[in-house]
Amino acid sequence: MAAATPTSSREPVPSREPIPSGSLAVRATTSSSTSSSTSTAPQAATAPARATGLATRAGRLGKADWRSYGPLQIDWSNWRPMGGSYVAPTLNGNGQALYLAVNCGARKINATSQSGQWKSWDSPQTDFEQRLISDLCRAKGT
């Protein structure tokens, strides 16, 4: 009897393009100890417990469909409605797991820090962030 050979599942390799300093990809890689909110900002959804092991858990939710937006890899098949926004498992340019949220009504984006805390809602700063919002909101019909 032959021994079972483990198979490996390769994650997509993030692109190595320059990241503008104000972009979500940079904001998502830094941790923030404080968060600000205003009455006009979309309500932040409750952050999932932790982003650690995100890619593994995302694979269990359903068949992953990883799409690249700038340096971000987004599991497109696992967008979930949460608190008036859509949230999906994401890998940043360094391969670190986080959650990304898009609020179509406000056309704002948000991401979790490495500790799983939501940051502030921001307008898209780069072309890929604008493309992401447009693609998702069109796909969701909002």
pTM value is 0.62
Residue 128 per-residue DSSP state = H
Average pLDDT, the chain: 74
80-132: pLDDT as tens digits: 999 999 999 999 999 999 999 999 999 999 999 989 999 999 999 999 999 99
Q: Distance between CA atoms of 52 and 46, rounded to whole angstroms?
A: 16
Of 44 and 74, more confident = 74
- DSSP states along 5-32: PPP--PPPPPP-----TTSHHHHHHS--
pLDDT at 4 over 50: no
pLDDT at 69 over 60: yes
CA angle 12, 30, 79 (to 5 degrees): 45
With bands split at pLDDT 50, 70 and 90, how would you rate the model's confidence at 142? confident
pLDDT of amino acid 63: 82
pLDDT of amino acid 95: 94
pLDDT at 43 over 60: no
